[in-house]
Structure 1
């Protein structure tokens, strides 16, 4: 696979700093609250927001030789890999407002992995569909299509 181009793109969440500000606000509220139970709840909620904010601050899509890896980060809690030989078709698409952001089932079937925006690449797999949100949909779809053509020739 040495002569084949690779792909790597990271999309950043525009509201990521706002999430961190909310977590800091929770920690400050916990620090300055006299009630121990309220302080504990604020600190725990702040920690949860901080962890989730770190886990969903960016979405990276990367070629890994025989598969494409999709991962949220920088805290690497959520990751998915799809082998190229499991992909039957690729197209540029758009998520609906209802499909939103995050990782979840789509009302249209399959999974959605989306950080921000509505542009996506629809990966039709042998047994399901995966919609990968990205601000680089044309380039990602083009890259995956080229990889699929290369896989067919081998």
Structure 2
């Protein structure tokens, strides 16, 4: 049986770092107003941590489950046992689906870093859309894994 591991990198974090820098500049500009300066400083730190959490999206096989992780700061991760996956197909998210982690208007959870290509996992309860720049290989891998259990 094959193994799957793929990491997608994207400039999403740069946008968040830019917002963090803007908050830091605002904190410095408001240094005469301590409450405002502290608020912007805290916001800057939180945005910097968030940016570090969205540098990349790694999807990997973990023997009995598929793991999806944003990183390198490990704030957001999810794994799905192969036993709970009913089907897998290539799909596309919409502009409204956007990036990040959220519930989609199409139904199901979206985990997406950048772009519109995704793999749609139909689960026993619900749906998971995993954004990736390697949709064809990820889809084929998951289809093979769930076919092996039959």
Distance 1:111 1:55 in 2: 18
Count of residues in correspondence between the two structures? 149
* Distance in 1 (alpha carbons) for counterparts of 2:60 and 2:19: 30
TM-score w.r.t. length of structure 1 = 0.90
**Gap runs ≥5 in structure 2:** none
Query: Does residue 85 of the first structure (1) align with residue 83 of the second (2)?
Result: yes
Partner of 1:116: 114
1:17 paired residue number:
14
The aligned counterpart of 1:51 is: 49
Structure-1 separation of matches of 2:16 and 2:102: 20
Residues 115 and 39 (structure 1), Cα distance of their counterparts in 2 relative to 1, 3 Å cut: same
How far is 1:76 from its partner?
0.7
CA distances 1:30-61 after superposition (whole Å, capped 9, x unpaired)? 23532212211110110111111111221110
How far apart, in 2, do the equivalents of 1:18 and 1:107 lie? 24
Match of residue 67, structure 2, among 61, 66, 69: 69
What is the alpha-carbon distance in structure 2 between the residues aligned to residue 49 and residue 118 of structure 1? 24
Note the C-alpha offset of 1:20.
1.9
RMSD of aligned residue pairs (Cα, Å): 1.4
- Corresponding residue of 1:5: 2
